[in-house]
Amino acid sequence: MEPILADAVIGLGKLLLTGGREERFMTLFKVYEALQPNPEMKFAAVRHALAHATVVLDRPKTVSALLDLFGTTRIDLSTYTHQRIFWQVLGSLLTTVDTLLASRIEMSALQFTMSDEIAQPLTVSVASYYFRTELSELRSNQPRAM
């Protein structure tokens, strides 16, 4: 399995065990960052606002995105309006991560093949578990009496 894909899946699993909403956003953003090398500005801006003091947020694109979303560079999760916007952005990030992860899994699945030497024993062992009678008849070449 690709290391990026493995990290993304593990990170997404950690999301359920992560603490508060800010930590959940940061955890999800780490997964997003691994899957998307050029993050969408609204996600990156929220991440920066959560991770840094307001006075150090001086990048024009970050400031612009925060002003567009929240009307200020400070995210105040004690207000209903900021909470609602935060959850909308988090939901959008989760949907984006889901789409990116599904795409990455589909691309990776195309790279994996199973040789006949490995596939045959797996097929027989599964068949012997679920279809004992039928498999023993096939091995003995004797049809089953009806």
Indicate the pLDDT class of residue 61, thresholds 50, 70 and 90.
very high
Q: Which residues of 51-87 are buried (b: 16+ CB within 10 A; e: fewer)?
A: eeeeeebeeeebbebbeebbeebebeeeeeebeebbe
Question: What is the rounded distance in angstroms from the CA atom of residue 60 to the CA atom of residue 51?
Answer: 17
Average pLDDT for the chain = 82
* Residue-wise pLDDT tens digits, 15-36: 777 788 899 999 999 999 989 9
Which one, of 40, 38, 37, 32, lies nearest residue 100 by Cα? 32
Question: What is the rounded distance in angstroms from the CA atom of residue 105 to the CA atom of residue 44?
Answer: 24
Give me the mean pLDDT over the 2-9 stretch: 80
pLDDT at 123: 56
| Alpha carbon distance, N-terminus to C-terminus of the chain | 47
Give me the mean pLDDT over the 69-97 stretch: 94
* Residue-wise pLDDT tens digits, 93-128: 999 998 888 888 887 776 666 565 555 554 556 666
Res 48 pLDDT > 90 = yes
Give me the mean pLDDT over the 5-13 stretch: 80
Res 64 pLDDT > 70 = yes
pTM confidence score: 0.71
Contacts of 62 by beta carbon, 8 Å cutoff, 6+ apart:
41, 44, 45, 48, 49
Q: Is 38 helix (H, G, I), strand (E, B) or coil?
A: coil
Question: What is the rounded distance in angstroms from the CA atom of residue 107 to the CA atom of residue 122?
Answer: 24
Backbone angles phi, psi at 36, to 5 degrees: -130, 100
CB atoms within 10 A of CB 47: 22
pLDDT at 143: 55
The tokens describing 125, both together, are 């062992």
